[in-house]
Structure formats: structure tokens, C-alpha cells
Copies of this chain bind each other. A is one copy, B any other.
Amino acid sequence: MPSKPSHITMDAVYTAPGYLFRRMQQIAVSIFVEECSAFDLTPVQYAALVAIHTHPGIDATRLSAVIAFDRSTLGNVIERLESKALIERKPSREDKRVKLLHLTKSGAAVLRDIMPSVERAQLRMLQPLKPADRKTLLALLTQLVDLNNEASRVPLRAEDALEHLGKSN
């Protein structure tokens, strides 16, 4: 319970949940990029591809709610995916502000082919733990992320994804 700098040790950092989350995120990205190096896709780009595949014709704002990425961040991600010809952006006829997102044939192919590598990466992240501990960690993390949803600047709004279906294209 250090309260003066004179008493601070590195444990004040090493044992802090925030530090462990940051460290684990670094490690997870590193493993993902390594396993998926053949596809030149980052974790964020992969998640965006999955969401666009699952919700064809979604717009950028709704996409940001579905994967909980910041709208501004997502703009750049979409640009890169478009420049790699993995997705297409078409203006909506109903709302001139909106651009609808679709996978290209190439994008769908990449998504199909990358899956085994992604699975391998996800397994590797938890590999060092005993199987029972992996389940425990995942369960607690899922619970914590869900309960802390509103604490983040960009809360996950999975249900937002369905709205564009009602209004159709």
C-alpha cells in the first residue's frame, strides 16, 4: 500500500491490472501478426472483415459499434482494407451521407483462408495455461469486459448491427 514515491517499487506497476492488460494485449497482437503474417492482416482488420461479412451493407458508424472500435480509427482501417481491395464502399441511395460496406470476392477468400491461422493464434495465446485455467480466465474476462462495457469510450453495441437490415438497402 505505497503512498509515497519513496516506497514505490516496480511491483506498483507489475501487479497492477492495467499493466497486465496492456502487456497481454501486446503479446496477443504479436502472436496474431506472427501466425497471420502470410495474409498481411492485423487483428483489427480481421475483426472488421468478419463484421462486414456478417453484416453486409453495414455503414462505418454501425460497424464501429459492432466491434467497439472508435469511428475515427475505423475510417483509416476501412481505407486500408479498401486499398487492398478486400472491401468495397458504395454510397447509399437512401441516405447520401452513408457509404455501405461489402466484402469483395478477394476479401471473402482471404477471410476464408486466414481462419486456421487465426485459430492457431488464439490457441497460442492461452497455450501456457492448463486447459481448466484457460476456461476460467476466458470466462472471467468475458464477464469483466461485459460488465465494464459502458466504462469504455466506445461501448460494444452488438444489436446496432441489425438496424440496417430493417431499413434494407
Contact = CB atoms under 8 A, between A and B. Distances in A.
Interface in A16-39: 16-32
A141 interface: yes
Contact of A10 (B10, B66, B151): B66
Given A17-B125, A24-B21, A54-B8, A30 B142 contact: no
A131 to B, nearest CB: 13
A85 interface: no
Contact of A5 (B3, B53, B141): B53
Interface of A: 2-5, 8-10, 12-32, 43, 47, 50-51, 53-54, 66-68, 103, 108, 111-112, 115-116, 118, 121-122, 124-126, 128-129, 133, 136-138, 140-145, 147-149, 151-154, 156, 158, 161
Contacts of A145: 20, 23-24, 27
Copies in the complex: 2
The A contact surface, by secondary structure, is helix
A50 B157 CA distance: 36
B27 A152 contact: yes
A5 to B, nearest CB: 5
